[in-house]
Chain A
Amino acid sequence: MKTEDFCKMISRGKPGPGDGGNTGSWRVLRPVINLELCIPVKTNKRACFNCWLYCPDSVVSKTIPPVINFDYCKGCGICAEECPVNAISMVDEATPIDEEK
């Protein structure tokens, strides 16, 4: 039988992040968490995490405090809208990042 290897090329994607590139660059508004209001931070308990649950892009961590991965956060604002204590505000992407509290 012929020894040549056939079918060296099929379209089979391998799992990995960033298929769409650095989707953080899509952002117009950036979510900023006010840690003084954030429930898990305030109570130091694993609680709430609405921002983690509803994030479409799994860029919010389920940690105290919740941390947002800005490489990929598309800035949709769902976390801000769903935060029960209004701890997240959407600020202009042009605002310097060190304003985060």
Chain B
Amino acid sequence: MHIIESGNVAAATGVKLSRAQVIAAYPITPQTPLTEKLSEFVESGEFEAEYIPVESEHSAMGVCIAASTAGARAFTATSANGLLYMSEQLHWAVGARLPLVMCVANRGIGAPWTVWNDQQDSMSQRDAGWIQLYANDHQQIIDTVIKAFLLAQTVSIPVMVCYDGYLLSHTYMPFDQPDQGDVDSFLPTFSPENFLNPEDPGNFNPVTLPDVRPGVDGKMEPGYIEIRHNLHHDLRSSIEVYGEIDSEYEEKFGRGGNPFIEKYKCEDAEFVAVCIGSLSYQLRDVIDIMRDSGTRVGVMGVQMYRPFPDEAIADALSGKKCVIVFEKALSYGNQGPLYGDIKSALYCSDDKPPIHNYILGLGGREIRTQHLLDALTDSCGSPETFGDTPRWIGLKL
């Protein structure tokens, strides 16, 4: 069924279709309408779930962690400082291997306060161990949320579904809402092997030693480092798993096929612009303009940022004349996070392209098509004349 709704409502609808059982969230702009919609779904009886209006984001994730440990499918959503307030809990959820799904309506971080879009919030949590998926439009938001629940419970790792605040969260677009029956056959009930069970008691997440230690049955059990190694291993494997889940989804719903990166006019391109989120669709207009004037340029949106699909990215970018990375986030004092990751993905390539880094749109600064065109034209005109220092677009100094 096609409907026209906001990105937040697309996310809420995906959560409802995925039959989340426990939802806890705290309002924060621009995620708030998602929370409001879920509370409305639950209160109207349209959606059978426990909606818990907690007193903070830290508690929202606390509720989800405990509910998931007890065997329920749990969901939360947040933005910016809310995400940072639950940072400790993000790490906890990963270490406890809980299949949570969380939407992040990307917003800049204070101080100073900003409510507008950039991606510094989720980027700053990239090392927590969560799987990070980014959606570029409303259709991708709802589809990604549903896929995220299956991915999370397959690999027992929580998944963050990120989309640009306001640009996607508050704009209205048509999208197809999958049928409940189809989603039910795609996403099986959550029935974990380990959960809080009085009939089979266990102590979850206790202090774990630096070394291996025998259990009560004499069997040697892992230490902290083995458990963390296993997490990393499963996180890397989840790249392949997500590819399979995406294919399954495509087969059932007719949408997908680009689980890791979404390419536009990249095949014959000499130059490729790379970015995350809705910016990649805005860049398509710029690509078209430049193609009209004879520059063979394409754009690639990164949809899965953690685990980093480095093989797919290296395949797509090696041999190009120049790769231009546009970012709404910065590893302060260094360079854009995506830029650094792409550089390292290409390190082993025999045919490494020069890579440029542009920082733009922080705190919601308007990204003008002309600015993007100027930057791309500049980079394509002189691919060799760039250092590691990111260039800023649209600064008014």
> A6, B202: Cβ atoms under 8 Å?
no
A15 within 8 A of B: yes
Given the known interface contacts A1-B244, A14-B215, A16-B216, the answer about A9 and B230 at a Cβ–Cβ threshold of 8 Å is: yes
Q: Which of A1-51 contact B (CB under 8 A)?
A: 1-2, 4, 6-16
Which of the residues A6, A14, A16 comes within 8 Å of B237, measured between beta carbons? A6
Min CB gap B196→A, angstroms = 10
Collect the chain A residues with CB atoms within 8 Å of residue B226's CB.
9
Min CB gap B202→A, angstroms = 4
Q: Which of B144-165 contact A (CB under 8 A)?
A: 154-157
B293 within 8 A of A: no
- Chain B residues with a Cβ under 8 A of chain A: 95-97, 154-157, 194, 201-206, 208, 215-217, 222, 224, 226-227, 230-231, 234, 237, 240-241, 244-245, 248
24 A-B residue pairs with CB within 8 Å? A1-B244, A1-B248, A2-B240, A4-B237, A6-B154, A6-B155, A6-B234, A7-B155, A7-B230, A8-B230, A9-B222, A9-B227, A9-B230, A9-B231, A10-B96, A11-B95, A11-B96, A11-B205, A11-B208, A11-B227, A12-B194, A13-B202, A13-B206, A16-B215
Q: Give CA–CA (A71, B203) in the complex, Å.
A: 24
Collect the chain B residues with CB atoms within 8 Å of residue A4's CB.
237
Q: Give CA–CA (A16, B219) in the complex, Å.
A: 13
Which of the residues B156, B215, B216, B224 comes within 8 Å of A6, measured between beta carbons? B156
Collect the chain B residues with CB atoms within 8 Å of residue A12's CB.
194, 202-205
Q: Give CA–CA (A15, B206) in the complex, Å.
A: 12
Collect the chain B residues with CB atoms within 8 Å of residue A1's CB.
154, 241, 244-245, 248
> A14, B217: Cβ atoms under 8 Å?
yes
- CB-based nearest B residue for A13: B203
Q: Give CA–CA (A2, B156) in the complex, Å.
A: 14
- CB-based nearest B residue for A18: B216
- CB-based nearest A residue for B243: A2
Min CB gap B362→A, angstroms = 37
Q: Give CA–CA (A16, B202) in the complex, Å.
A: 10
Collect the chain A residues with CB atoms within 8 Å of residue B241's CB.
1-2
Task: For the A-B complex with A15-B201, A15-B216 known, give 7 more contacts whose Cβ atoms are closer than 8 Å.
Answer: A2-B154, A2-B241, A10-B97, A10-B194, A10-B204, A12-B203, A15-B203
> B156, A7: Cβ atoms under 8 Å?
yes
Q: Which of A37-75 contact B (CB under 8 A)?
A: none
Question: How many contacts between A and B, using CB within 8 angstroms?
Answer: 60
- Chain A residues with a Cβ under 8 A of chain B: 1-2, 4, 6-16
Collect the chain B residues with CB atoms within 8 Å of residue A16's CB.
215-216
Collect the chain B residues with CB atoms within 8 Å of residue A7's CB.
97, 155-156, 230, 234
Collect the chain A residues with CB atoms within 8 Å of residue B224's CB.
11
> B244, A2: Cβ atoms under 8 Å?
yes
- CB-based nearest A residue for B231: A9
Collect the chain B residues with CB atoms within 8 Å of residue A15's CB.
201-203, 216
Min CB gap A2→B, angstroms = 5
Min CB gap B197→A, angstroms = 11
Min CB gap B259→A, angstroms = 14
Q: Give CA–CA (A101, B175) in the complex, Å.
A: 84
Q: Give CA–CA (A6, B153) in the complex, Å.
A: 9
Min CB gap B174→A, angstroms = 31
- CB-based nearest B residue for A16: B216
Min CB gap A4→B, angstroms = 6
Collect the chain B residues with CB atoms within 8 Å of residue A10's CB.
96-97, 194, 204, 227
Min CB gap B209→A, angstroms = 10
Collect the chain A residues with CB atoms within 8 Å of residue B97's CB.
7, 10
> A11, B204: Cβ atoms under 8 Å?
yes
Q: Give CA–CA (A65, B204) in the complex, Å.
A: 38
Min CB gap A78→B, angstroms = 26
Min CB gap B147→A, angstroms = 13
- In the A-B complex, the 4 residue pairs with the smallest Cβ-Cβ separation, listed nearest first, are A16-B216, A7-B156, A13-B203, A9-B230
Collect the chain A residues with CB atoms within 8 Å of residue B217's CB.
14
Min CB gap B79→A, angstroms = 29
Q: Give CA–CA (A15, B202) in the complex, Å.
A: 7
